[in-house]
Amino acid sequence: MGKITELTVTKGRTLKAGDREEWLRLEYSIKALVDDENEIQAAKANIEGLIDGWLSSSMLAASPMSAAKTLEAVQNAFPPELKELISFQQNGHYVIIKPRQYLGAENFAKIAQIVWAQGGEYISCGKESHFRIPKHAKTV
């Protein structure tokens, strides 16, 4: 087998559309280029966690918080066992959340779900990857 340099992960979920007999299929696919073959498992776990977070956030009944968010309010949204895995800082219009260590797919998905429930997002940029939550709700 040759050197693995590309990884594609696809996951989905089928949802019943309310009380109707209709079903909806929600599916995400991410393709990643991997420089180091030894990083394949970590990349796969991170991508799976990201997709799991997207899939689970689509199931949340709660809408993103509309009030201005403080650093303390964002920190309080996380349970203690996740809080010890991440660091928080303010940066302009965002609260930035960075992992202190490798999170694994399950913890990544849990963190992503909390971030997305607050209107945040994941910024993928190698070792500088992070989550960010806007301090103020976006206006349409």
Query: Does residue 1 lie within any of the structural domains?
Result: no
Q: What is the pLDDT of residue 33?
A: 85
Q: Predicted confidence band at 49 (pLDDT cuts at 50, 70, 90)?
A: confident
Query: Does residue 47 lie within any of the structural domains?
Result: yes
Per the structure, the complete domain to which residue 119 belongs is given by: 6-134
Residue 81: its H or E element: helix 80-83
Query: Does residue 140 lie within any of the structural domains?
Result: no
Query: Does residue 139 lie within any of the structural domains?
Result: no
Query: Does residue 130 lie within any of the structural domains?
Result: yes
Query: Does residue 103 lie within any of the structural domains?
Result: yes
Mean pLDDT, residues 92-102: 92
Q: pTM of the prediction?
A: 0.54
- pLDDT digit string, tens, across residues 6-30: 889 898 887 665 555 677 777 888 8
Query: How many domains does the chain fold into?
Result: 1
Q: Predicted confidence band at 89 (pLDDT cuts at 50, 70, 90)?
A: very high
pLDDT over 70 percentage in the chain: 82
Task: Report the 10 Å Cβ neighbour count for 100.
Answer: 9
Query: Does residue 72 lie within any of the structural domains?
Result: yes
- As to burial, measured by CB atoms within 10 angstroms (0-12 exposed, 13-18 middle, 19+ buried), residue 116 is buried
Query: Does residue 19 lie within any of the structural domains?
Result: yes
- pLDDT digit string, tens, across residues 113-140: 899 888 889 988 888 889 999 988 654 4
Measured CA to CA, the distance from residue 21 to residue 29 in angstroms comes to 27
Residues 55, 26 contacting (CB under 8 angstroms):
yes
